[in-house]
Every structure is written in C-alpha cells, then in structure tokens.
Amino acid sequence: MKIYVPMDSAAKALGADEVAAKLAQEIAARGIEAEIVRNGTRGMIWLEPLVEIEKDGERLAYGPISEGDVAALLDGRIETLGKVEDIPFFARQTRLTFARCGLTDPLSLRDYETHGGLEGLKRATGMSQDAIIDEVKLSGLRGRGGAGFPTGIKWDTVRLAHAPQKYIVCNADEGDSGTFADRMIMEGDPFTLIEGMAIAGLGCGATKGYVYTRSEYPDAVAVMRRAIEIARGAGVLGANVLGSGKTFDMEVRVGAGAYVCGEETSLLNSLEGKRGTVRAKPPLPALEGFLGRPTVVNNVISLATVPVIFAKGAAHYANFGLGRSKGTMPIQIAGNVKQGGLFETAFGMPLGTLVNEIAGGTATGRPIKAVQVGGPLGAYLHPDQFDTPFGYEEFDGQKALIGHAGIVVFDDSADMLSMARFAMEFCAVESCGKCTPCRIGAVRGVETLDRIAEGDVNAIPLLTDLCEVMVDGSLCALGGFTPYPVMSALRHFPEDFAPKSARKEAAE
Ligand SMILES: Cc1cc2nc3c(=O)[nH]c(=O)nc-3n(C[C@H](O)[C@H](O)[C@H](O)COP(=O)(O)O)c2cc1C
Ligand code: SF4
C-alpha cells in the first residue's frame, strides 16, 4: 500500500506535515505495510491536505484530511472522493504542463521517467539548434510570465547572437497576486523545469542557467536545489547532457523580495548582485542580458512546458487553444471562491465558466462583483464581460490582460474605489524609482483617488489624465499597466467613484 501526502507548501500550510507524521506513527503502531510518498499537490487547494491511498492498483482520494482524521482514515471510516481524475474540477482539465504534478514523487527521477519525463530532452539532443528553435516556434508557445512574447523568436535572437557565453535565466519571482503555478511546479515536478531549461540551453547554445526565485519560496528553493543535484548526478545536467557531448548546468539564486525584481531587466540586475532597478531597452536581454551576455529570460511555466512540446511534438501542443493563444494555460483561481486552485485548460474557456462553474462562485455565497485577472497590473472585469474567452488577444480586446493567469474573485462587498487606490499605492510602494511617471505619478494617483473619495468629482478627469501619462511615459509595465486596474474600476464601477453622500443615499 502507498499513501500519498503532498509536500507542497499550500498543503503544508493546511497541515499536511502533521498528517504525514501521524500516518507514520499509526502505520508503525498497527504494523501496516505501507509506504508514505510525499507528492506534489493535485492543485485542488480546498481539498488539501488531499491524501491518496493506492491499494491493489487503485488510487483513491480523501480530503481534506486533518491529523485527527488519520485513525478513521486507516480504519476505512472516511468516505473517499473517488479517483482524483474523476473529480469534476480535475476531470475538466487538459493537463500538459502539469501532467505529472501531484501524481509522482517530485524528487524521484525514476518516477519522472516512468511518466514520460526526459523524452523531450532525449529528442532534443539529436536535433540541430535550428530544428529545436523551429519546434518551439511551431508550437506557438508564448511567454507565460505576462507579456505573451513568442518564446521561439526570443530563443532565436539568443541563438543568432555571437558571444563566448550565453545564459538561460528562469524567472521564478512570481510576484503577481493570486498566482502560484511557478511554485507549484517547482515543488511538484521540478525535473520538468530542469528539462525545459536544458532544452533551451541546447537550442540557444547556452551552457549555464539560473533559476531566480523569491526568498518567500523556501520549499521550492530546497526542492529545486535537490532536484538539480539529482539531475547532475544522473548526467541530465553537466558536461555531457544525456551523453550528447553538450554542456548545460544550472543553479538556483534567491532574491531579497521586490515585485519589480520580476521584471526581466530588474531581475538581471538583482542576479548580478546590483539593486533591482529596471534597465532601459534596447539593448534587449536576448542580446545583452546577464553580465552583458545574450540571455533568454523566460517564466517557469514557459520553460516547464517545453518538455511536453518536444515529447509529443509541436503540432500536438499547437492543436489546443484558440487563435494565436496556442496550447494550454495553468490558470490559478484565488480570492473569494468556493474552489480555489490550479486549473490547466486549453485557451478559450470563457471567464464566466471559470469563475461560476469551475471555481463554483464565491465562498461567501454573495454575487460576484469583479474579477481581477493578471495580477496587480491586471484589469478588473465586470460580470458583463464573462463571455470573454481566456486568450491573449481576447483579453486585450477588453482592455484587460491574462498576465500569468491569476484570477482573483471579489463579491459585491468589494469597494472598487478602494481597489483602485490599492493599485496606485502598490505601484508607489513597489516602484523602482527609475522613471518619473511611475515614481511620482503613483503617489499623485493615491492622492487623487483620496480626493475622489472625499467627493471631489473634478479629480476624476485628473485621474484619467494621470493614467494616460503613466501608460505612455513609463519605462516598464509597473507604471505603464497600473492604470489598467485603476481605469477598469472607474469604467465598470462608476457608482463606487460617486461622492460619499450620493453613495450613502443610493444605499438607503
Ligand atoms: C513589474 C513587473 C513584474 C514582473 N514579474 C514577473 C514575474 O514575477 N514572473 C515572470 O515570469 N515575469 C514577470 N514579469 C515579466 C518579465 O519582465 C518578462 O516579460 C518575462 O519573464 C519573460 O518571460 P516569458 O516570455 O516566458 O513570459 C514582470 C514584468 C513587470 C513589468
Ligand atoms: S515604471 Fe516604475 S518600476 Fe518601471 S522603470 Fe519606471 S519607476 Fe521603475
């Protein structure tokens, strides 16, 4: 018998370690022959700690399980949820990037290979750099960190650059509110990120990689470091990648924590040991990046998706999706919802289906008022926009963005003027200070929103003007996109920007 208890941070925060310890104790006391496997999470956070028991070839789920439930669980007195694959939230997914997450022991390379791991890298070792890049271009993969830039084109720029050293940098800063896909895959299936980075290295002619992550992710850091050691020991990394004669090695670096350090040039400064301020572009990091050398900077999910593209073929991947949004997206559902977690699906599912059916509506049971998609720089969408299919262009058409695909749901008790103020305040606090529209603009934005809150309606056109200046004049998307949440709140919820006296009357 095998008993799976996730070692993912979200599951641990909900008591998974205590459940695992109690299970070990009970198993020993009862003399049961059972192995406890610490797997990644299956992504259904409202069911964590989700314990799975595998017996006679059948793997059944139970959750949420507390330490106090362990005896009853072993007695068979707890009702099963059935197979994870049959739970509707899971059954409706298309798991390509997250296919193994939660299924395997994250630190078992054997488990990884048994479930299709390393097939992509094996294939890539026999391909030319051109062919590797063409495969990525053909897959239609676009950056999952926010900007949606075609990954193959970025890799090609690095491949074509002449330099004695090139780098692959994985952006694992994951600063967006309501997002956790990067952490989840690093903790739940770290070899897939390693494999993706190795393929990127082979394709671009880069021999060294870095995973830049945040100090708030100690578990992900530990798992990644251990997985890199294991991969190196097995010849997946090092001077002779899978016996190909090609070199690729990597390490993890931890940042001190600043939202702007997720911006690629700021990240590179931080990686070089400098203050995390944004660099002006050009030069592009692809030409002059880490230590002035050609550098691919890609998000965790972009890189972790590369192995399945090579294992199953670019056409297979590109078959999923909608328009220019090819493949799948691991959507992270958070905020005021009944069922929060990670939901990987082909692009194209309407936002309303995601929040009403998949997330099951609000946890409070009150009507949904707004959904913020794409982190703190993402727009607030109104229920009138729920028909919008989840896709880069489709969201752009709504003056919104999908970003890193974090969805945060708010019920009708949310005050959108306060949310707009929070967006400006966040920008003011996190601004790197390099350009005036953001450094000064965000502070003036907070003041202007306070004037609106005091009933000064003349401040509304001022806010609109200020947002225009921030969009047009900011050096990076922190200042440039903060107007998205602010203006969407104003556009869709004008009643929340009315003078206090009018709001009070309306409420009475
Ligand atoms: C303020 C700011 C914060 C960002 N934070 C992240 C982040 O945490 N993770 C990430 O992958 N990209 C982040 N980005 C986007 C990166 O600059 C860059 O576009 C991305 O790492 C490129 O990888 P991709 O093409 O795979 O998406 C941020 C951008 C800005 C402007
Ligand atoms: S927009 Fe803000 S964070 Fe970006 S460069 Fe300007 S000051 Fe720095």
Looking at the DSSP bridge assignments, the partners of residue 37 are 4
Task: Tell the residue nearest (CA) to atom 1 of ligand 2.
Answer: 479
**Which DSSP category does 47 fall into?**
G
Ligand 2 centroid from CA 439, angstroms: 7
Can you give the pTM of this predicted structure?
0.97
Backbone angles phi, psi at 407, to 5 degrees: -115, 120
b/e sequence 176-202, b meaning 16+ C-beta within 10 Å:
bbbbbbbbbbbbbbbbbbbbbbbbbbb
Q: What contacts 287, CB < 8 A, 6 or more positions away?
A: 157, 161, 294
| Ligand nearest, relative to CA of residue 432 | 2
Per-residue tokens: 289: 């990046």
Tallying the residues shown for the chain, one arrives at 508
Reference 287, options 197, 167, 158; nearest CA is 158
Beta strands 58-62 and 51-55, pairing class: antiparallel
Q: How high is the pLDDT of residue 505?
A: 65
- Fold adopted by 109-319: Rossmann fold (3.40.50)
Residue 343 sits at the vertex; the CA angle it makes with 340 and 349, to the nearest 5 degrees, is 115
Q: How high is the pLDDT of residue 80?
A: 98
Beta strands 321-322 and 325-326, pairing class: antiparallel
Neighbours of 174 (CB within 10 A): 26
| Contact (CB, 8 A) for 70 and 34 | no
In angstroms, the Cα distances linking 433 to 59, 203, 364, 430, 475 are 53, 36, 39, 9, 10
Spatial distance between the Cα atoms of 324 and 347, rounded to a whole number of angstroms: 10
Looking at the DSSP bridge assignments, the partners of residue 82 are 61
Q: How high is the pLDDT of residue 504?
A: 65
| Ligand nearest, relative to CA of residue 475 | 2
CA 439 to ligand 2: nearest atom: 7
- Of the residues 173, 260, 275, 281, which should be mutated to test ligand 2's pocket, given the most ligand atoms within 8 Å of the CB? 260
Could you tell me if the CB of 262 is within 6 A of ligand 1?
A: yes
Per-residue tokens: 315: 């056409």
Could you tell me if the CB of 475 is within 6 A of ligand 2?
A: yes
* Phi/psi-derived region of residue 367, left when phi > 0, alpha when psi is between -120 and 50, beta in every other case: beta
Spatial distance between the Cα atoms of 402 and 447, rounded to a whole number of angstroms: 28
Could you tell me if the CB of 442 is within 6 A of ligand 2?
A: no
What type of residue is 186? M
The answer to whether the bond into 367 is cis (omega within 30° of 0) is no
- Where does 31-168 have alpha helices with state H? 70-75, 88-91, 109-114, 119-125, 129-139, 151-160
Could you tell me if the CB of 326 is within 6 A of ligand 1?
A: no
Measured in Å, how far apart are the chain's first and last C-alpha atoms? 62
| Contact (CB, 8 A) for 269 and 291 | no
Q: How high is the pLDDT of residue 506?
A: 64
Ligand 1 centroid from CA 34, angstroms: 43
Could you tell me if the CB of 298 is within 6 A of ligand 1?
A: yes
Ligand 2 centroid from CA 268, angstroms: 15
Could you tell me if the CB of 264 is within 6 A of ligand 1?
A: yes
Could you tell me if the CB of 296 is within 6 A of ligand 1?
A: no
Q: For 2-92, CATH number? A: 3.40.30
Reference 139, options 172, 168, 171, 96; nearest CA is 96
Could you tell me if the CB of 477 is within 6 A of ligand 1?
A: yes
Please write down the long-range contacts of 287-294, taking CB distance under 8 Å and 24 or more positions apart: 287/157, 287/161, 289/167, 289/169, 290/167, 290/169, 290/210, 291/165, 291/167, 293/163, 293/164, 293/165, 293/166, 293/167, 294/157, 294/158, 294/161, 294/163, 294/166, 294/167, 294/204, 294/206
Torsion of CA 203, 204, 207, 213, to 10 degrees: -100
CA 476 to ligand 2: nearest atom: 4
Domains 109-319 and 328-411 alike in fold: no
Spatial distance between the Cα atoms of 195 and 311, rounded to a whole number of angstroms: 11
CA 438 to ligand 2: nearest atom: 2
Ligand 1 centroid from CA 479, angstroms: 14
Could you tell me if the CB of 438 is within 6 A of ligand 2?
A: yes
What architecture is the 328-411 domain classified under in CATH?
Answer: Roll (3.10)
Backbone angles phi, psi at 268, to 5 degrees: -65, -40
SS3 208: strand
CA 149 to ligand 1: nearest atom: 25
Per-residue tokens: 9: 């941070």
Q: What is the pLDDT of residues 127-186, one digit of tens each?
A: 999 999 999 999 999 999 999 999 999 999 999 999 999 999 999 999 999 999 999 999
CA 474 to ligand 2: nearest atom: 1
Q: Which residue stretches of the chain have pLDDT < 50?
A: none
| Ligand nearest, relative to CA of residue 474 | 2
Domains of the chain, by residue range, sit at 2-92, 109-319, 328-411, 418-506
| Contact (CB, 8 A) for 107 and 230 | yes
Reference 205, options 243, 257, 248; nearest CA is 248
| Ligand nearest, relative to CA of residue 258 | 1
Looking at the DSSP bridge assignments, the partners of residue 332 are 342, 406
Ligand 1 centroid from CA 484, angstroms: 17
Could you tell me if the CB of 399 is within 6 A of ligand 2?
A: no
Cα-only R_g, the chain: 24
Ligand 1 centroid from CA 357, angstroms: 29
Spatial distance between the Cα atoms of 157 and 138, rounded to a whole number of angstroms: 16
Domain at 418-506, CATH class: mainly alpha
Reference 432, options 392, 475, 383, 484; nearest CA is 475
Spatial distance between the Cα atoms of 452 and 446, rounded to a whole number of angstroms: 10
